[in-house]
């Protein structure tokens, strides 16, 4: 039945038993995975298993990268605009803020201290109105905020403090229909007493620049104003209502905040960025973990498909297994053949899925815009998702975790069918075949 060449193949196989998987075993494994008339259905199941692993791995990498991008982008913008620690007075405005800023600046780990005066206003221009948040800040402090300085889309910050100027967010400017050089009227909720009664406090300011940081909340509501003009507009005198601190190690901000308790006193209170945004970032963390668990089920289902397809393949190849055994193949050889048949589905699916996921992440914004143009619908609304662009940050550790998990499940799924194939009795197989 077998020629000399076949015996030579088996003899060469026997000589290479020390190898994990010989070339002959690999060849037989791939031949078993190939579609034949009688086992075509098995091949279909194997293809579905491959597709499931590809989709599972790619989706996991994409989702985890997008969640990482969300956290990173939001963290960059929140801390870039708000500082790492905020000191405020719960009872009255901070009057001696310059002297207090010097003392706080001497605390180890503090980079700089920025006095700010914040207040809510109604903004009017071109017959349109919109609520906004005014931040009174010195020009030197505003220029040090890289996220603002590098995202000025129109105008300049050079004449910010020389006259009653304001810097608007791009979405707020679009909603009001103003551009650089136009005037916008700000109305404070606090009233001013006059001979005719209380009147709302109003003042016109020139738009000197427009910024766009890519975060909807800030681009839509934020207005920067010179500190002295803000103090005059809100009638706070020589006082501010907040001191914002930048620290050397933002992740270790709690250590710096603990040191500040020796400097600040009375009704002053220090709140770091982790405390202010804890609920938001905890929600992101929980959502990320839940999405990981849900999408992992895709890979698990694909692994079960591998088990079922390999068991069916073993039952279909019982006679072939018996022939291999009569030719001198050991149980270990048979086990390795079928193990590699199942594992190769996981290997190929993991490789293709990881490449597909990485390519998608690297081009995610272009893909989003393409789908938006094709479907005619807004797929990533800044009003809902806070950011103007869909972020994706690939973490090598996350990719390694996904790949390791997919390979582990694929290998585990291939163990039982290959063990079952190795236990096949050649006599019974030939007798019943």
Q: How far apart are CA 356 and CA 361, in angstroms?
A: 9
What is the distance of C-alpha 159 from the center of its chain?
Answer: 38
pTM of the model: 0.71
Residue 268 confidence class, pLDDT cut points 50, 70, 90: confident
Q: Is the pLDDT of residue 277 over 50?
A: yes
At residue 355, the pLDDT reads: 94
At residue 416, the pLDDT reads: 85
Strands (E), 126-213: 128-137, 152-155, 165-169, 183-194, 197-211
What three-state secondary structure class fits 55?
helix
Torsion of CA 71, 73, 77, 80, to 10 degrees: 90
By DSSP bridging, strand 222-226 and strand 165-169 are antiparallel
Average pLDDT over residues 199-213: 86
Average pLDDT over residues 84-107: 83
The DSSP secondary-structure symbol of 237 reads: -
Domain spans in the chain, listed from the N-terminal domain onward: 20-73+281-432, 92-266
User: Mean pLDDT for the chain?
Assistant: 79
Tens of pLDDT, residue by residue over 22-47, are 676 777 766 666 655 445 555 677 77
Altogether, the residues listed in the chain come to a count of: 433
At residue 224, the pLDDT reads: 92
The DSSP bridge partners found for residue 206 are 165, 183
Question: 4-15 and 23-33 are packed helices; what angle lies between their axes, rounded to 10 degrees?
Answer: 120
Furthest-apart CA atoms within the chain: distance in Å = 117
What three-state secondary structure class fits 56?
helix
Judged on CB neighbours under 10 Å (0-12, 13-18, 19+), 65 is: buried
**Tokens, residue 286:** 């929980």
Q: How many helices (H) and strands (E) does the chain have?
A: 18, 10
The DSSP bridge partners found for residue 128 are 125
The DSSP bridge partners found for residue 246 are 112
């Amino acid at each position: 039945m077998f020629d000399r060449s076949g015996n030579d193949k088996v003899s060469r196989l026997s000589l290479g038993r020390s190898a994990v998987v010989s070339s002959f075993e690999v060849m037989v494994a791939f031949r078993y995975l190939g579609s034949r008339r009688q086992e075509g259905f098995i091949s279909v199941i194997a293809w579905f298993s491959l597709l499931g692993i590809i989709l599972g791995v790619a989706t996991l990498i994409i989702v985890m990268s997008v969640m990482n991008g969300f956290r990173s982008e939001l963290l960059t913008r929140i801390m870039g605009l708000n500082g790492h620690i905020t000191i405020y007075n719960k009872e009255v405005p901070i009057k001696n803020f310059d002297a207090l800023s010097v003392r706080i600046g001497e605390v180890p780990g503090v980079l700089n201290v920025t006095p700010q005066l914040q207040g809510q206003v109604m903004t009017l221009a071109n017959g349109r109105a919109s609520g906004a948040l005014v931040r009174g800040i010195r020009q030197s402090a505003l220029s040090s905020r890289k996220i603002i300085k590098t995202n000025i889309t129109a105008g300049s910050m050079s004449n910010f403090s020389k006259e009653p100027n304001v810097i608007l967010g791009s979405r707020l400017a679009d909603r009001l229909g103003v551009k650089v050089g136009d005037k916008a009227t700000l109305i404070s909720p606090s009233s001013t007493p006059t001979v005719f009664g209380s009147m709302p406090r109003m003042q016109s300011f020139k738009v000197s620049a427009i910024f766009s940081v890519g975060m909807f909340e800030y681009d839509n509501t934020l207005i920067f104003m010179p500190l002295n003009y803000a103090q005059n507009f809100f009638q706070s005198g020589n006082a501010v209502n907040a001191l914002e601190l930048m620290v050397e190690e933002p992740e270790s901000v709690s250590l710096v905040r603990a040191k500040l308790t020796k400097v600040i006193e009375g009704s002053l209170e220090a709140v770091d960025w982790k405390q202010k945004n804890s609920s938001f970032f905890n929600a992101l963390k929980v959502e990320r973990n839940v999405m990981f668990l849900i999408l992992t089920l895709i890979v698990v289902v694909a692994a079960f498909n591998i088990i079922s397809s390999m068991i069916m393949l073993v039952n279909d190849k019982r006679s072939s297994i018996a022939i291999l055994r009569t030719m001198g193949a050991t149980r270990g050889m048979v086990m390795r053949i079928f193990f590699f048949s199942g594992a190769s589905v996981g290997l190929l699916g993991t490789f293709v899925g990881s490449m597909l996921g990485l390519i998608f992440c690297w081009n995610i914004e272009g893909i989003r815009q393409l789908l938006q143009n094709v479907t005619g619908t807004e797929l990533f609304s800044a009003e809902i998702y806070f950011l103007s662009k869909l972020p994706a940050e690939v973490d090598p550790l996350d990719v390694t975790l996904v790949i390791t998990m997919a390979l582990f499940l694929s290998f585990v799924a291939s163990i039982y069918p290959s063990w079952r194939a190795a236990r096949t009795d050649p006599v019974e197989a030939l007798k019943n075949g």
